[in-house]
Every structure is written in structure tokens, then in C-alpha cells.
Structure 1
Amino acid sequence: MAVISQSNQFPTPVLAEERGLSEPPLLGKSLEELTEWVQAQGQPGYRGKQLYQWLYQQGARSLQDITVFPKAWRQAMEAVDLGRSALHHRVVASDGTVKYLLKLADGQIIETVGIPSAKRLTVCVSSQVGCPMACDFCATGKGGFMRNLATHEIVDQVLTVQEDFGQRVSHIVFMGMGEPLLNVTNVVAAIRCLNRDVGIGQRAMTLSTVGVPGRIRALAAEQLQVTLAVSLHASNQPQRLQLIPSAGAYPLAVLLDECREYVQITGRRVTFEYILLAGLNDQPANAAELAQHLRGFQSHVNLIPYNPISEADYQRPSEASIRNFVNELESRRIAVTVRYSRGLDENAACGQLRASQP
């Protein structure tokens, strides 16, 4: 079980050399970069393409796995790190959702989730070890924050799920452990790698954030085709501050203004996530207040009935309350979907991820 330090401060990235790594792993590099690397080791350029294919299509975990390479060179390069994590624990929920605890090179543990359905395989990806945002309803936030994930540690999660299921991953959601926009450089690099090298369309990726001042604007400048999902979880600022401590530095009105700017820059709508907590934010009056905020917005609301965690005593709303909330939004012409999380019985659902073994 990973020991995670408590911190409510926005973190700064931890560089590979600061963690004692001599050079960055190969996972995350492009074909051109891998070709340059093999040539720097005295190998012909065509071995770059071989390395690229074995890394991204064959799922190689070490240079020893790449049998098309000369045996002597593989032995000489035995210490080279491809950047694959180790499987620490794996559990399967009754609905087929699989939760993985992955051990990183420095011993830290993260969670990732494979979510299969009839037509797709979705991976819920973590972007940090723990999370500094400390949302009151979220198990990850209760554990505190250790560090950002490197690009290869993000990409590895997708390759791990793909390998375990024996089928191609079709969709990715950055909704696992951590706040992606506090690790925006590595997350954007991972998105580009997963698109360019693993072959997953950006339009099949969703990045979820509770909001970090200025970072939504910075994401818009990247001109990605991913779906931005902003976690509101409240219909007014006092209520949001109760649930999300960082809302004090990023008021709801300012967050929504930046979301409007995102729509103007990218031409893409924003999805707003709203966890329904019984008796707190699930009343028709809350729905009416939320609709007022989103009037004229190119947006969609995902309602998520609360998934229980042992660290908090919030309750899941009744089906009647959920229907009333939906009806109120729809009556005000707000597009809305109720999203029931998968993997609930194995603590693999939204808001339940923690770096610990059951």
C-alpha cells in the first residue's frame, strides 16, 4: 500500500532526474525520436521502426522481449528502461470492470480501470499519484498527493489494459486519480502519444477537471479534439466550496467564464459533471440554479449518482430525486444524461479510486 503525504497545495511537476532516473524511459517517444535513439546506440535507423512497433503494438516490457534485435545488443542494453509499470493487484467487478493497481518505478501505487462494453473498451486513466484537490466526496482526495505522473506512466496504463483484455482500447477518460490540469504538460504529451502512436482518436478521449485557474484556457490553446469535462458538483459557490476546497481560489462564476472562452477558442462544447448527493445538491431548486448558469452555453450535463466511500457519509439520491432533477433541467432546455458508474462493487467507480489493495 502506498503511503501518500497530505497536501492541499497545487503541486509542481517532479522531473525524472529528481526521482533518481538517469534518463527518461522510451515509452512516450515518437517514431522519429526512437529512430534517433537507436542510431545514437550505434544501430541502423530501421531498428527505430522495429522498436516503435514492439513498444506500441506488441506491448514489449523490456528490450529482451524484442526478439528481432540482435541478442548481443539486447544483453548490452539490458538496463534500458522502456517505462512499463508492474501489476501490483488486479480485481474484477461483477459487471466485468477490471481495476488495476500498478506499481511504478519508485514504488508508488496508482489505479487504473478497464471498462468493457459490447462495442468499446474504455480506460479510466490516472494523471497523478493521489490528488491535492481534496474534494470531500472523493476517496482519492482523502489520501492526499504525492507527485505528478510522467508521460510514459500515463501511456503505460492504456497499454496495460489493452494487453490484459486482449483487445484494442477505443476510449480513454482522464477521470482516475489526480487533477489532469495540474499535470497539463505530461497529460497533453500523453494524449498526443496515445493518438499518434497507439492509434486512439482524440475525439474518443475525455479530460475531466474540477478547474485550475488559467489551465482551461491553456488547454484550449493546445487545440486538441478531446472532450473537456468540468466537474461542477454544485449549483452555487457556497455549496461548491463545501465540496471542493480549491473552489475558494477559483469561484464558480470565474470558472464558467473560462469555460465559455474555451468554447469560443475551440468550437467544442463542454461537458459538465455533477455528482448528485442526497439532500445536499439534488433538489429541483439546485437544478434550476444550474440551468441558469448554463443558459446559452454550448454544453451537456452528466449527472452522476454518488458512489459511496468509507471516508464520507454522503448518501446516494433516490431514483425519484434523480428523475426530478433531470426533468427540471430538460424543462429548461439543458441537455442531460444520467451516468451510472461501473465497477461499484469493487470500489472501481467514479470517486472511489484510492492507492490501496482491498
Structure 2
Amino acid sequence: MDDTELDSVDPPQGEERDQAPTSLLALTPQQTEAEVVARGGRAFHARSIRKHVFERGLVDYGAMTDLSARLRESLAADLPILTGTEADRHTARDGAIKLLTRLTPRRGISGSVETVYIPSLRSGRGATLCVSTQVGCPVRCPFCASGKWGLERNLEGHEILEQYVRGAQTGPLSRSVVMGIGEPLLNLSAVRFALGVVHDEMGIGARKLTVSTVGFPDRVRSLAQERPRFQLAISLHTPYDDQRDELVPLMAGVPIEEVLEAGDEWFRATGREVTYEYVLLGEETDTPDHAAHLAERLSGRRATVNLIPYNPVPGDRWRRPSGATVDAFRADLEERGLVATVRWSRGLEADAACGQLRQEHLPG
């Protein structure tokens, strides 16, 4: 399958932005300056506003007392900072917080988005924010709640960025993973816009920003040529082509070797290793044969395998492997020369763990 066949799920961002409500978060620094000057402000006021929002977490113009009252009133009336509404939040016992934001309708499609704030287990360190890029997900992995209804629409760049602003209001951020609902490389222009602001104005370095994808080869190669260069994670989930066609339906017909070769090219172009994410489904992808074949696939490649024990989704047939099985799988990979880690996801009982985020259909 050629990546260009997927353009229908990645509509031109400019076309959607023309119909989107105006938001401060949708503007570049230069556009912000133009808006402020048009309202009688000065260029330095625009810089101050963006620092208030992205460095201090202020989302109320009224609290920006270095601006004139007239400018604050004009901005509040015409240029809202946030366009979504927090609809719910759940806090798990381990401290992970899932935020549910109701979105402003686009082209008659409303919907909501889930974001997860994951505090560091080490005192004094900021949290990791897991953000979403689409309403629903076109990949439709059968073990993942996010794709149960398929794709409804792409998020705008400012809607992705709003998740970061809301996350920073919850607490300090030190890193982010673009691993929530959606496939980031099928909404790349919006992702690029949001991460550019996060990198340049919120101060989260490129090595602390990880984009997770199912690995469209042409798009991975293209991404490797861009700057800033973020960390890359590719969801592999199995070393067998026929099983991957089942587990990652949107990639059906794309040989695993092509995905791995694109990962190799990423490493050569960027000098940054790929992390291959691998969900462990009890008695499905966690067998010794799977470990042996996965090690064979990745032999000689600069990469890390991140093992993710399946997080239960109500109604699914899949089963979570035991801790002993997970440990044995990791040990098998390491004995065969691979670097392997295990991510026991946090936020499990709040349905905030990996694979549990879903598109909520809110009333109203």
C-alpha cells in the first residue's frame, strides 16, 4: 500500500482552519503580534501574552495585568485562549490523571478528546503528558479502545496544543508522548504545528518528545528529514506479517520488513534509535516463538523494544499475561542481544492506561 492512498484521512490543515473558531493557540508568534497591534497593543505585548500562556499557564486575559484593560477586553471578546471545555477528569490511585475535553464542533462533528497527565515517580521531576491527535482512530487495532468507532476527524493544531496547556495547568511537564487517541502521521501538519510551539515556547526538548506511529514507511522517511527531530516509536506488536495484518488493520499488506527498513533509515538520518512498541497479548503475542522471531527481525538493528502488557478493555477477548510471562519474554529478548524494557502502564483503574483511551460520545 502506498502512503498516498491515506491522504483522505489527512485533510489539508488550512482548509479546516479556515472554518475553525479563532483561538490564540492557532496563531504563530508573528500572527499573534499582528492581532495585538491591530487592537492597539505593542509587539512586546504579544510576546508577553505567549509567555503568560505557554510558560506560566495563564488562560485568562484578565490575569495578565501588564496589558491595558482595553486590550484585555478586546482579546477576551475575539480571541479565546481555549476553545474546548473540560468535561471530566479521573485520578487513579497511582496519581495518573485522565482529562476529558469536549471539543467545539468542526464541520458538524463535535466529539471529545482524552489526555493523560502522568506524574513522575521521582520527587521533584515533572510529569509526562500523553496527548491525542484525532477524534477516534483509523488504525482500529482490535485490542485498543481508541479505534472502536474508527476515525471521526483530525484534531486542529490548536486543539492538540490545548492539551499541553491544560496539562501544564495540572502541574509541571518534563516530557510528552504523542501516544493517545489517533495516528499522528496521518495528521502530521497539525502535530508539527503543536509540537513546534511545545518545543520552542514551552521548553520541552526534542529528545523528550516522542511521536508514536504504526510506521507508514514513506512518512517515517519524510519525518526523518524534518527539524526539530523528535523521538520515534513504532508500534510493531508482532514479528509475523499475517498476525500484524490482523492486529494493525490499516497496515494490512505492508510487510514488517518495509517498516523496519524505514526505521533503519530514520536511525541513519537522525542518529536516534527507534523504539519498537510491542503489546503482549496473553497466549497470542507473548510466546517463546514470538520472542525468537522478534529477536531475529531486529538482529543487528539499533533499537529498543518497549513491551506493553495488554491493558484490559471491557468486552475484548484478549488477556493480560502474567508478570512471570512478561519477565520471561523480556529475558529471552535480552539473551538474544536486544535492549528490552517493560511499560506497566499507569492509570489502569481510571481507564487511562495505554490502549484504554477512547472517543467519548458526550450528551449535548
The answer to whether the superposition gives a TM-score over 0.5 is yes
Provide the residue aligned with 2:45 in structure 1.
47
Matched positions, count = 349
1:250 to 254, 262, 265: 254
- Judge conservation of contact 1:139–1:311 (CA < 8 Å) in 2: no
AA in 2 matched with 1:149: L
Residue aligned with 2:135, SS: strand
2:90 alignment partner in structure 1: 91
| Residue 143 of structure 1, aligned match among 127, 149, 156 | 149
- Take 1:25 and 1:72, find their aligned partners in 2: how far apart are those partners? 19
Matches within 5 A, 1:250-329: 250-329=254-333
Identify which of 340, 343, 349 aligns with 1:339.
343
Question: For residues 118 and 265 of structure 2, what CA distance do their matches in structure 1 show?
Answer: 32
Which of structure 1's runs of 4+ aligned residues deviate more than 4 A? 14-20
Note closer, same or farther for the CA distance 1:339–1:76 as it changes in structure 2 (3 Å cut).
closer
Question: Which one of the candidate residues 219, 223, 239 is aligned to 1:219?
Answer: 223
Correspondence for 2:237: 233
Unaligned segments of structure 1, at least 5 residues: 1-7
Tell me the SS of whatever aligns to 2:308. strand
Tell me by how many angstroms 1:154 deviates. Answer: 1.2
* Distance in 2 of aligned mates of 1:82 and 1:281: 45
Deviations 1:148-171 (A, max 9, x none): 111111111111122123xx2001
Q: Which amino acid aligns with 1:57?
A: E
Q: Percent identity?
A: 38
- What CA deviation, in whole Å up to 9, does each residue of 1:236-261 have, x standing for no partner? 10111111112214221111111111
Q: Which amino acid aligns with 2:85?
A: A
Distance 1:11 1:136 in 2: 19
2:140 matches 1:174: no
* TM-score, structure 2 normalization: 0.90
Residue 22 of structure 1, CA deviation: 6.0
* Whole-Å separation in 1 of the counterparts to 2:203 and 2:83: 18
CA contact (8 A) 2:278 2:307 kept: yes
The answer for unaligned runs of 5 or more in structure 2 is 1-5
Matches within 5 A, 1:33-182: 33-77=31-75, 78-106=77-105, 107-117=110-120, 118=122, 119-165=125-171, 168-182=172-186
Structure 2 residue matching 1:221: 3-state secondary structure:
coil
- Given that 1:101 and 1:355 are in contact with CA atoms closer than 8 Å, whether structure 2 keeps it comes out as no
Give the superposition deviation at 1:71: 2.0
| Comparing 82-91 and 56-65, the one that deviates more | 56-65
TM-score computed with the length of structure 1 as normaliser: 0.91
Output one character per residue of 1:298-354: Cα deviation in whole Å (capped at 9) or x when no partner.
100000100010141100112222122112111110000111000001110000001
- Measure, in 1, the Cα distance between the counterparts of 2:20 and 2:178: 28
Measured on the aligned residues, the alpha-carbon RMSD in Å equals: 2.1
Which residue does 2:3 correspond to in 1?
none
- Counterpart residue type for residue 336 of structure 1: A
